[in-house]
Structure 1
Amino acid sequence: MTLRLSNTLSGEREPFEPADPDDVLLYYCGLTVSDYAHLGHARSWVHVDVIHRWLEHLGYGVRHVENITDVNEKIVARVGEHTDGGALGDDEPGVAREFIRQLLADMRALNLERAEVYPRVSEHVPEIIDLIETLLEKGYAYESNGSVYFDVTEFPEYGKLSNQSIEDVESQGAEAERSEKRHPADFALWKAGGVSEAAVAEHRDDDREYGSHPSGETWESPWGEGRPGWHVECSAMSMTHLDESIDIHMGGRDLVFPHHENEIAQSEAATGEQFARYWLHADLFEMDDEKMSSSLDNFIPVGEAVERFGVNPLRMFFTSASYNSTQTYSESAIEEAIERWERLEAAYDRVVSAADSPDARTKVESPLRDAVEDARRSFTGAMNDDFNTREGLAALFDLAGAANRHLDGRDEYDYRGLRRTIETFEEFAEGVLGFDFEGSAEGDVTLAGELVELVLGLRESERKAGNYDRADDLRDDLEALGVEVQDTDRGPEYRL
Structure 2
Amino acid sequence: MTLHVTDTLTGEREAFEPANDDEVLLYLCGLTTSDPAHVGHARTWTHTDVIHRWLEYLGYDVRHVENFTDVNEKIVARVGEVGDDEREVARHYVSEFLEVMRDLNLRRADVYPRVSEHVDVIVEMVETLIEKGYAYESEGSVYFDVAAFDGYGKLSNQDVDEMESQGNPDERSEKRNPADFALWKAGGVDPEEIADHQHEGAAPPEEAAAEALTWDSPWGEGRPGWHIECSAMSTEHLGETFDIHVAGSDLVFPHNENEIAQSECATGQTFAKYWLHTGMVQVEDEKMSSSLRNFTTAADAVAEFGADVLRTFFLSTVYSADPTFSEETIAEAEERWERLERGYERAVEAADSVDAYARVEHPEFREAVAGARAEFEAAMNDDFNTREAMAALLDLASEVNAYVDEREEYDFAALKDAVEAFEDLGGDVFGLSFGGSEGGDVSIAEDLIELVLDVREEERAAGNYERADELRDELEALGVEVQDTDEGPSFRIE
Q: TM-score, normalised by structure 1?
A: 0.87
1:395 has 2:428 as partner: no
- 1:261 is displaced (CA, Å) by 0.3
Quote the offset at 1:409 in angstroms. Answer: 3.7
Deviation at 1:397, TM superposition (A): 1.0
Query: Structure 1: which 4+ aligned runs deviate by more than 3 Å?
Result: 444-450
Counterpart selection for 1:334 from 326, 330, 341: 330
Displacement of 1:414: 0.8
After the TM superposition, which residues 6-85 of structure 1 pair with which residues of structure 2 at under 5 Å, given as runs? 6-81=6-81
- In the alignment, the residues of structure 1 paired with residue 152 and residue 445 of structure 2 have an alpha-carbon distance, to the nearest angstrom, of 61
Change (3 A) 1:442 1:435: closer
Q: Which has the larger radius of gyration?
A: 1
For residue 203 of structure 1, what is the aligned residue in structure 2?
Answer: 197
What amino acid does structure 2 have at the position aligned with 1:193? Answer: G
Please tell me the residue identity of whatever aligns with 1:24. V
Name the SS of the counterpart of 1:328 in structure 2: coil
Give the gaps of 5 or more residues in structure 2.
447-494
Q: 1:371 to 1:265 in 2, by over 3 A?
A: same
Identity over aligned pairs, percent: 61
Structure 1 counterpart of 2:476 = none
Q: How does 1:213-362 map to 2 (within 5 A)?
A: 213-215=208-210, 216-362=212-358
Choose from 396, 399, 405 the match for 1:408. 405
Coordinate RMSD, CA, aligned: 1.5
- Give the distance between the partners of 1:357 and 1:156, measured in 2 at CA: 68
Instruction: Kindly provide the amino acid, as one letter, of the partner of residue 174 in structure 1.
Output: N
Local SS of the residue matching 2:439: helix
Partner SS, residue 112 of structure 2: coil
| Aligned-pair CA distance for 1:7 | 0.3
CA distance in 2, matches of 1:91, 1:449: 36
Q: Give 1:146's aligned amino acid.
A: G
Q: State the shift of 1:343 in Å.
A: 1.1
Do structure 1's residue 191 and structure 2's residue 191 form an aligned pair? no
Q: Of 136, 141, 145, which residue of structure 2 is paired with 1:142?
A: 136
Secondary structure, counterpart of 1:62 in structure 2: strand
**2:86 aligns to what?**
92
1:354 alignment partner AA: A
Q: 1:174 aligns with which of 168, 175, 192?
A: 168
Unpaired runs of 5+ in structure 1?
Answer: 82-87, 451-496
How many angstroms apart in 2 are the aligned matches of 1:178 and 1:221?
Answer: 22
Q: Secondary structure at the match of 2:124?
A: helix
- Tell me the SS of whatever aligns to 1:368: helix
Q: Number of residues paired by the alignment?
A: 443
Partner of 1:427: 424
Please tell me whether residue 383 in structure 1 is matched to residue 380 in structure 2. yes
* 1:454-492 per-position Cα deviation (integer Å, ceiling 9, x unaligned): xxxxxxxxxxxxxxxxxxxxxxxxxxxxxxxxxxxxxxx
For residue 112 of structure 1, report the CA deviation from its aligned partner. Answer: 0.2
> Which of 84, 109, 112 is matched with 2:106 structurally?
112
Shift of 1:119: 0.1
Distance 1:446 1:58, change over 3 A: closer
Closer/same/farther in 2, CA of residues 242 and 287 from structure 1, 3 Å limit: same
Rounded Cα–Cα distance in structure 2 between residues aligned with 1:248 and 1:21: 14
Post-superposition offset of 1:29: 0.2
Instruction: Quote the offset at 1:69 in angstroms.
Output: 0.1
**Does the CA contact (< 8 Å) of 2:100 and 2:298 recur in 1?**
yes
